[in-house]
């Protein structure tokens, strides 16, 4: 005769509790999955391939520092991170128009949404190309555009001038080479090179590839000056006075960078 099994109320409660716990676990997992998937879809829709919701912001320039600009429009002040090139272009203006790049970071303790502003579309395009290179983040790309003008940077990329790119703070030899390899063809195909009149053989350090240039920049760096801005001044001085010695060039550079 078959043995009968009976469930006590306590056993029923245990089974119900187990089933409820399992169902809740499935619900939480599914919710997390869809959140992640929806966030990826959101980012893919608005932040991949540079499809930003904001093209530009135009309004009163209420605050300006070498790294940040606040533009007020319709009663709202938009804080945008800027490069030194953009700072120079809008300095002294009451009304500014800045082309916007939107950056969003998720996955950490706090989500981060940042606006980057550029005085020209070409500078923004170059920035967007730079951040596609492995090892070049948002702040590094801005530093590159603060240390070199868009034309100088494009010239350096087009001519394979890794020495000039390497003078930017935070850029090593491998990263400089990667920037050249990844972007040399892109700056040509996107039209940035044509608009900035970029051509081979026009890079600053390749045009003045002398021991005087390298020693003068090295001496200024040892004195605590930033390499990239110093390189610009040294280049100008050597073009004006190609027969000057390293000592004379350094003395004149010290006068101009102060």
Check if the beta carbon of residue 183 is closer than 8 Å to that of residue 192.
no
Indicate if the pLDDT at residue 164 is higher than 50.
yes
Phi, psi values for residue 207, rounded to 5°: -75, -30
Select from 190, 77, 112 the least CA-distant residue to 98: 77
pLDDT tier at 185 (50, 70, 90 boundaries)?
confident
* pTM reported for the whole predicted model: 0.62
Indicate if the pLDDT at residue 30 is higher than 90.
no
pLDDT at 124: 93
Indicate if the pLDDT at residue 199 is higher than 80.
no
Other Cβ atoms closer than 10 A to 139: 14
225-251 residue pLDDT tens: 777 677 778 888 888 888 888 888 888
- Residues in Cβ contact with 145 at an 8 Å cutoff, skipping those fewer than 6 apart: 83, 84, 85, 123, 126, 127, 130, 153
* CA separation for the pair 58, 104 (Å, rounded): 22
């Amino acid at each position: 005769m078959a043995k009968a099994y009976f469930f006590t109320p306590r056993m029923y409660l245990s089974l119900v509790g187990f089933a409820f716990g399992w169902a809740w676990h499935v619900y939480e997992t599914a919710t997390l999955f869809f959140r992640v998937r929806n966030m990826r879809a959101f980012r893919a829709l608005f932040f991949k391939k540079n499809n930003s919701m904001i093209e530009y912001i135009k309004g009163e320039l209420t605050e300006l520092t070498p790294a940040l600009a606040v533009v007020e429009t319709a009663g709202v002040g938009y804080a945008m991170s800027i490069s030194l090139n953009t700072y120079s272009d809008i300095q002294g203006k009451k009304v500014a128009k800045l082309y916007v790049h939107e950056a969003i970071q998720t996955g950490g303790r706090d989500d981060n949404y940042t606006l980057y502003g550029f005085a020209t579309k070409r500078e923004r395009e170059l920035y967007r190309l730079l951040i596609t290179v492995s090892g070049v983040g948002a702040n590094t790309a801005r530093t590159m555009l603060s240390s070199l003008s868009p034309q100088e940077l494009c010239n350096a990329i087009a001519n394979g001038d890794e020495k000039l790119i390497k003078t930017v703070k935070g850029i090593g030899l491998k990263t400089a080479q990667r920037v050249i390899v990844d972007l040399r063809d892109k700056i040509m195909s996107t039209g940035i090179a044509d608009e900035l009149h970029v051509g081979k053989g026009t890079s600053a350090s390749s045009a003045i590839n002398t021991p005087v240039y390298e020693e003068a920049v090295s001496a200024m760096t040892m004195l605590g000056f930033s390499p990239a801005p110093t390189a610009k001044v040294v280049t100008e001085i050597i073009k004006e006075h190609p027969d000057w010695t390293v000592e004379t060039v350094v003395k004149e550079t010290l006068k101009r960078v102060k």
